[in-house]
Amino acid sequence: MDLFLNTLDNGIRLVHYRIPGLVAHCGLIINSGSRDETDPEHGIAHFIEHMLFKGTKKRKAYHILSRLEDVGGELNAYTTKEETAIHASFLKEDYERAIELISDITFNSVFPEKEIEKEKDVVIEEINSYLDNPSELIFDDFEELIFSNQPIGRNILGTPESVKSFSQKMIHDFISNNYDTSQMVFCSVGNIPDEKILKLFKTNFENIVTEKQATRVNKPWLYKPASVTKKMDTYQNHCIMGNLAYDIKDKRRMGMFLLNNILGGQGLNSRLNLSLREKNGLAYNVESSYSPYYDIGIFSIYFGTDSQFLNKSISIAMAELKKLRTLKLGTIQLSKAKNQIKGYLTRGYENHESLMLSLGKSLLIFNKIDRIEDLCKKIDAVTASELLETANDIFEPSKISTLIYK
């Protein structure tokens, strides 16, 4: 993979991957998310993501929404606990239009008071919609249980009460404190020469100045395993169980990714899917997930089942964890597991929008980008003994927390 990299004097970094094709993708990733909020700011990072579309010094909301849509493109954004991204997909001849628009809404938004009040209602409806979906809500509630009284444990959307309290000043203060140019990456995948993308990058970003260098401070994690049952008006019982896991820079994370994929990854041949769904018919939705953050990670298993099958399903899930803690993978098993996850990674590189965001996030976090060949080598280097050690660390029953919706 032949990547073009550049860094401006203000710290904004560029990664561009030139590929043939009619469609291009680009975006700006900012190392700021909901975990960087103070208690009164709960939900403001996500709220700002909404407000970036509501008007700049030279554009009304309608003109922002129409700028790429008029030529068949798409402008979008998302907020996570640790990052905010504004990105676009468009025809390659509209590169200049897309880059200029992303720069404009990120750095020139004016956050009109009238639009702030309207958007509060929109976000509150988004929160209410989320509350109506227990299979999604339970993940946020579980992180609040795991990361009790920690900003990273709070949900991204905020609460109706916190959203109602947001003001123009609070928005400007959060941006001033967290949107640091040294913590931004502009990423691009498309058929445009390196020299042209560099010119557009400089034109739209080199004059941006930030006064503060934002830093995310490592904190000690106070974790006490817990088991909680909530009475919910649902047809199914929903269960999630898990533990703290490794952070994004921990060398053991590759083994953790492998274990998670074996246990309940996207493959229909995952152990949990085979045992809970295919063999016993106890669940329709079953999965495991591993989310590594800046200084901590979280592992979880989720399934939904009928109330009469809840205890049996939990026992089966715990039995699968025990197998990984006590039985070392054989040579053939380990090879299959590695080939599967390498296949997923390689397929992901063919999704150019996903690749664009992945390149940007990698540069943002690690200040480097591994080639797919390098990632495959890291996967191949994981041993069965390392997986057994990781399984005994993360899947230890005494460390597992459980949240059930009944």
Provide the b/e sequence for 323-345 (b: ≥16 CB within 10 Å).
ebbeeebeeeebeebbebbeeee
SS3 298: strand
In the chain, the amino acid numbered 143 is E
Pairing of strands 227-230, 401-405: parallel
Burial 370-400 (b: 16+ CB within 10 A, else e): eeeeebbeebeebebebbbebbebbbeeeeb
Place of tokens 């820079």: 249
**Helix pair 168-178, 44-51: axis angle to 10 deg:** 100
Sheet holding 297-305, edge to edge: 227-230, 401-405, 237-245, 297-305, 286-292
Contact by Cβ (8 Å): 296, 247? yes
Q: Where are the domains of the chain?
A: 3-205, 227-405
User: What pLDDT sits at residue 212?
Assistant: 66
Side-chain-side CA neighbours of residue 271 (13 Å): 19
Contact 242, 146 (CB under 8 A): yes
* Residue indicated by tokens 């068949």: 72
Could you count the other beta carbons within 10 Å of the beta carbon of residue 39? 8
State the DSSP code for 398: G
Q: What is the pLDDT of residue 218?
A: 67
Check residue 221 and give its pLDDT.
79
User: Rounded to an integer, what distance in angstroms lies between the CA atom of residue 367 and that of residue 356?
Assistant: 15
Confirm whether 3-205 and 227-405 share one CATH topology. yes
- What DSSP line would sit under 29-81, residue for residue? EES--GGG--GGGTTHHHHHHHHTTSBBSS-BHHHHHHHHHTTT-EEEEEE-S
Using an 8 Å Cβ cutoff, are 260 and 289 in contact?
yes
Q: At what angle do helices 253-264 and 310-326 cross, to 10 degrees?
A: 140
Secondary structure class of 299 (helix, strand, coil): strand
Rg, Å, the chain Cα set: 22
Structurally, at CATH architecture level, domain 227-405 sits in 2-Layer Sandwich (3.30)
Task: List Cβ neighbours of 301 (8 Å cut-off, separation of 6 or more).
Answer: 240, 241, 242, 263, 264, 272, 286, 287, 288, 317
In this prediction, residue 284 carries a pLDDT of 93
Q: Which residue has the tokens 């979280």?
A: 298
Among 252, 388, 237, 383, smallest CA distance to 302 is for: 237
For 164, the enclosing helix (H) or strand (E) is helix 160-164
CATH code at 3-205: 3.30.830.10
Distance separating alpha carbons of residues 264 and 253, to the nearest angstrom: 16
- 396/123 Cα distance (integer angstroms): 39
| Per-position pLDDT tens, the chain of length 406 | 799 999 999 999 999 999 999 999 999 999 999 999 999 999 999 999 999 999 999 999 999 999 999 999 999 999 999 999 999 999 999 999 999 999 999 999 999 999 999 999 999 999 999 989 999 999 999 999 999 888 899 999 999 999 999 999 999 999 999 999 999 999 999 999 999 999 999 999 999 987 667 677 766 778 999 999 999 988 899 999 999 999 999 999 999 999 999 999 988 999 999 999 999 999 999 999 999 999 999 999 999 999 999 999 999 999 999 999 999 999 999 999 999 999 999 998 899 999 999 999 999 999 999 989 999 999 999 999 999 999 999 999 999 999 999 9
Report the alpha-carbon distance of residue 240 to residue 237 in Å, rounded. Answer: 10
- pLDDT recorded at residue 210: 77
